[in-house]
Structures are given as structure tokens and as C-alpha cells.
Amino acid sequence: MSLPKTGVANIPSLNSGNGETVARSELSVVVPIYNVRPEYLHACVTSVARQQGSVAGELILVDDGSRRACHATAKSLARRLSGLGFASRLVTLKSHQGMAAARNAGVEVARSRYVLFLDADDLLAPHAFESLRPHLQCASASLLFADHVHVDADAKTALAVRRKSDYAALIHAWRGTAFDPFFHATFLIHPQVVRKDAFESLGGLCPDYGYGDEVVMHLRLAQRPALGEIAHVPEILYWYRKNPESVVHNPVLYRRLIANIEGILLSEMRRLLPDIGSCRRIGRATATHAAHYQYRQYDGLPLTVPWFDPRALSLSTDAR
């Protein structure tokens, strides 16, 4: 199916702007950069700069030790945005340190209460800021997430939509328990918006994992309800590009990603249930297409999740 006319293929060029200076920022967008294609980065930055509505945004590009050409592209884009009156800055890391370190560096300089993580090859829907506005103003949520759409490499055709309302209902019912959906599925990855003080209270993201580090953040925020609610915006706010050069298209790196997530989930689950012996990915849910994981105790018996059928790979929000 084709994208609507208000979609990523039709975001206006950076060549026009009103020249007004943003006095304050309500949402900081952190974009880690590492040798991404220039056309992808340009589209990503443009999707932020041309947001609809009146939410004041800030764009923070973090160059994670890219080659000179990529760094030059990032530097040029940041300069052009500043010339158009859009708050933007470029943070440069001296060497390649990975996604977690780059995101941490971006959050450190962010001036907004909330931070949205955006990958350099992806895009925001034109109305993303405006749809997030009620939560940004209320500031009661520690973590926000929304629905997203997978688009082709050219970002011209929608391939699949990922709806997350069922997981939002399950979080409401099971948060803080061993049956919290954050323990059993990686459904939230795009987009994720975190309140800066909540993020800092966790000590940021751990760069030791290399891949999958945000899963720890999700779990620990879910286990600390005093930091705030976890809220879902039931709209498509994020465009996930099918980048042939991404981790998920590299068999070696993808296996490492899955192994990291399995290890993270197992370690965090053992904080609640010490008798859990293993965790493995079992497939994608039929309705949501989110990856799901199954735990087994040391005696080999599986942990039964009230809301999930591992054979049918189906979930139910009426289990409690």
C-alpha cells in the first residue's frame, strides 16, 4: 500500500523556513549517527524540522565517530536548521562508542523535560509532536510510546503497521509483576519518549550491551511506578525504514542482538523470580508481530503467562 500524501515522501524541503527563533523546547529529539547514508539522515532531520503544530522542539545530532563525509553532512544539517530558527546542535564523540553512549550524550545536553529517541535512518510522522503534546504538558508519564509503520528503503511505501493498544492494556493490568509485557515482548522499540529526570534516575543506558540496551530501561521504568505512568499514544507517529544496512539485516549482528535481549530479560526476571533458568525468543505474535520470549525454570517447566498462548503465539487482554 502507498503512504498518504501527508506521509514521509511528502515532507517539505529544508530550503524554506519562517526564520523565527525557538525560545524554549518542549521535546528534545536525540539522533545518534554512525555512517548513515546522507539521504537517510537528511530525510530524518527534515521530518523533525517540519513538524506540524506549535510544539517547540529541539534536535540533537550525536555523531558517534562517523567517517568525515557523514560528519560533514551532520554538521551542515545542524547549521542549516539553526539558520532557519530551529533549535539544533551537533555533539561529536571522539570515537565510536555505540548507540547507548551516543544516546546518553544527547540526553545529557537536552534542554527539554522529555526526550525522543529517533534512529538516523528513520522518520517521524508529520504530526508526532502535536500528538504527544498532552503528555508533554501533563508530564506524569516516565515513558511514552506510540504505534509505528514499517516503510520500504525509499520511505515511499508502507509495508506493515504495528499497533500496540493490546500491550498498553496489559501494562495497565500487569505492570510491576512477572507478567508485565515488557518481560515477554519487545514491542516498544519505536518510538520511545522518556522523561529526562526518570532516565537520569536509572543512570542512563548501559553501553556494555552493544545492542538491546533500551530493553533494560523499559523494564526498570516499568518496575518503578513511582517515577510515573507508562502511556501509549494510539497513533502512527514513527516511520521505521527497511534499511538494508541495519543490524536486523546483518545475520551476525542480529543474532547478537537477540542473544543480548534474551540475556537482559533473564537477568531482570531473576530479580523477581530467582528460580528462572532460561529465556529464549519463540517467535512473533500473530496479531501484533512483536517478538515474544519464553522463560523456563531450572526444572525445565515453562513459566505460564496468563495472557499469552505460546503455541498459537496469541495474546489476550481479558486474562486477569
Q: Which of 3-17, 32-46, 140-154, 167-181 has the lowest mean pLDDT?
A: 3-17
At residue 12, does pLDDT exceed 50?
no
Is 89 among the domain residues? yes
Instruction: Give percent above pLDDT 70 in the chain.
Output: 92
Q: Which spans in the chain are helix H?
A: 38-49, 68-83, 99-109, 128-138, 165-174, 196-201, 214-222, 251-269
Is 320 among the domain residues? no
| Mean pLDDT taken over the chain | 91
Q: How many CB atoms lie within 10 A of CB 248?
A: 13
At residue 7, does pLDDT exceed 60?
no
Is 256 among the domain residues? yes
As for how many domains the chain has, the answer is 1
Is 212 among the domain residues? yes
At residue 49, does pLDDT exceed 80?
yes
Is 179 among the domain residues? yes
Query: Tell me, what's the pLDDT at 211?
Result: 87
Contact 25, 111 (CB under 8 A): yes
Contact 31, 62 (CB under 8 A): yes
Mean pLDDT of 28-32: 98
**pTM for the full predicted model:** 0.92
Query: Tell me, what's the pLDDT at 83?
Result: 79
pLDDT in tens, 271-305: 999 999 999 999 999 999 999 999 999 999 999 99
Is 104 among the domain residues? yes
Query: Tell me, what's the pLDDT at 294?
Result: 98
- Look up residue 100 and give its three cell numbers: 547507548
Burial (CB count within 10 angstroms: exposed 0-12, middle 13-18, buried 19+), residue 97: middle
pLDDT in tens, 106-155: 999 999 999 999 999 999 999 999 999 999 999 999 999 999 999 999 99
Query: Tell me, what's the pLDDT at 3?
Result: 53
Query: Tell me, what's the pLDDT at 24?
Result: 63
Is 3 among the domain residues? no
Q: Looking at residue 311, which CATH number applies to its domain?
A: 3.90.550.10
Domain that holds residue 99: 8-315
pLDDT band, very low/low/confident/very high, at 9 (cuts 50, 70, 90): very low
